[in-house]
Amino acid sequence: MKIGLIGLGRIGQVHLKSLSTIEDVDIVCVSDIDQTVCQKIIKKFNIPKYTLTYEDLVSDPEVEAVWVCSPSNLHFIHVTACLKNNKLVFCEKPLEIDVEKIKQIIDQYPDIHKKLMVGFNRRFDPNFSFVKMNVLKIGKPTILKITSRDPQPPPIDYIKSSGGIFMDMTIHDFDMASFMVGAKPISIYATGSVNYNTEFKGIDIDTALITIKFENGVVCNIDNSRKCAYGYDQRLEFLGDQGMLSAENEKVHHVSIFNSSGLKSALYKDFFIDRYIQAYSIENQKFIQCAKNNIEFPVTAEDALIALKLAQAAKLSLDQNKVINLNY
């Protein structure tokens, strides 16, 4: 399959690294507004050509599928351009920050499930996948607990362009919650504050607690922090009436040292690129597999819509300090 990729920032390069290792994948073109970055990337990954405009890439007859890894506010423009040019599309989260625009994509393309996959990579993490596959072993699920804490907050300019903590960071957890529970969320309450970076005040928060209730009775609690002194903390617990499933953090290694000074164990993996590198690989392989066999992609525009509705409702709940009921 011949691939094009739009957006050569951090996440774009993560996908390029992953795609370059997949058999029968040929990266034929990349696009970014920064010519210096383009020239560096095509040399690094041995890619034959680049373009400074996305229009040239999506209209290239050689390109069969496009990875959209541009800033969030450009996703809709790039995705719709790909679809209009009959390209298969992988779009990093969020698909869009406007509910109506996602609905427009869904309504315009009845077979969108075979045309577009959204990049919620954590679904493909082996530990979280194992939890999902074994949910029946804990009986009736009752409580889902998700912990997601970053080592350091992002720059303020990134905060302004990404849509804030719920749209950028927690949206992964919103999707994970829906994925694990397998039912529609019906209400949400969010609270939070600024504890680490005073620049965030009036713009965003860096600490959040969110409670979601699902139509099947499951209650989910998510805790987020933009700063975590001990590393990248990614954990999940799922309680049922007959047991519990728990996915712990990934460490650099799993050896502990016990001596007269106490206990010493490895640090958690540094950040999402290290922690989820395997998930990105599995995710991309799944896209290629579905595309080749003309079957529906595992993460759909509808999934992106639910995650976005949760993100928007969380912001409304934070601003109004009340529970928000979700409408479908």
Residue 113 resides in a domain: no
Among 69, 92, 115, the domain-final residue is 92
pLDDT digits (tens, 9 = 90+) for 242-289: 999 999 877 766 677 887 888 887 667 676 667 788 999 999 999 999
For residues 48 and 133, state if they share a domain: no
Per DSSP, the residues of 30-42 read EE-S-HHHHHHHH
The domain of 25 spans: 2-92
For residues 63 and 212, state if they share a domain: no
Please list, residue by residue across 28-65, b when 16 or more beta carbons sit within 10 angstroms of its beta carbon and e when fewer do.
bbbbbeeeebbeebbeeeebeebbeebeebbebeebbb
For residues 263 and 188, state if they share a domain: yes
Looking at residue 170, which CATH number applies to its domain? 3.30.360.10
d(CA 55, CA 322): 44
| 274: amino acid identity, one letter | D
Decide if 87 contacts 66 (C-beta within 8 A).
yes
For residues 44 and 130, state if they share a domain: no
Lookup: tokens for 24: 């029968």
Residue 102 resides in a domain: no
**pLDDT tens, N- to C-terminus, the chain (328 residues):** 999 999 999 999 999 999 999 999 999 999 999 999 999 999 999 999 999 999 999 999 999 999 999 988 899 999 999 999 999 999 999 999 899 999 999 999 999 999 999 999 999 999 999 999 999 999 999 999 999 999 988 888 888 777 899 998 999 999 999 999 999 999 999 999 999 988 889 899 999 999 999 999 999 999 999 999 888 899 999 999 999 999 987 776 667 788 788 888 766 767 666 778 899 999 999 999 999 999 999 999 999 999 999 999 999 999 999 999 998 7
